Amino acid sequence: MPATELPLSVPVFQILLSCSDSVLHGYAIIQDVRTRTDGRIELTASTLYGALKRLLADDLVEERGQPPEAEGDDPRRRYYATTEAGRALLAAEARRLRQALTEAEAKGITPVRDRTA
């Protein structure tokens, strides 16, 4: 299934989200996803690079040059950013997820609240 179809897989959604506001290399994407999800989602290198290959082919992410803050990094690293088409697809998926949550809430299903707060 092309990445342009909804629903997006969890890895594709997370990769697009990670690169939506930053230019990141592969390992930084893995770290960003792990941090944002409090470790609930762990991308493997094979999952990441397989998804990036498809996202590049679908013009949903693009390779970028090394950002200034990465000066001194390994010059072989590739950096990625979400394209406008990728951001539009990401927004469509976020709307789909919001609608699903609204439908669940209408049926009396509510998200479990953090009991430590």
- 3-state DSSP call for residue 82? strand
pLDDT number for residue 65: 85
Instruction: State the pLDDT confidence band at 96, using cuts at 50, 70 and 90.
Output: very high
pLDDT number for residue 69: 76
Opening angle at CA 98, ends 89 and 115, nearest 5:
130
pLDDT number for residue 113: 65
pLDDT number for residue 81: 97
Regarding beta strands 61-64 and 24-25, do their DSSP bridges make them parallel or antiparallel, or are they unpaired?
unpaired
- 3-state DSSP call for residue 24? strand
Instruction: State the pLDDT confidence band at 2, using cuts at 50, 70 and 90.
Output: low
Please enumerate in sequence order all residues whose Cβ is within 8 A of that of 3, keeping only pairs 6 or more positions apart, or say none.
9, 12, 51, 54, 55, 58, 60, 89
Q: Domains (ranges, CATH) in the chain?
A: 10-106 (1.10.10.10)
pLDDT, tens digit, 9 for 90 and up, residues 26-82: 999 999 999 999 999 999 999 999 999 999 999 999 999 887 777 777 878 899 999
11 near 47, Cβ under 8 Å?
yes
d(CA 74, CA 9): 30
Please enumerate in sequence order all residues whose Cβ is within 8 A of that of 26, keeping only pairs 6 or more positions apart, or say none.
45, 48, 49, 52, 77, 78, 80
Mean pLDDT, range 12-36, rounded to an integer: 97
pLDDT number for residue 44: 97
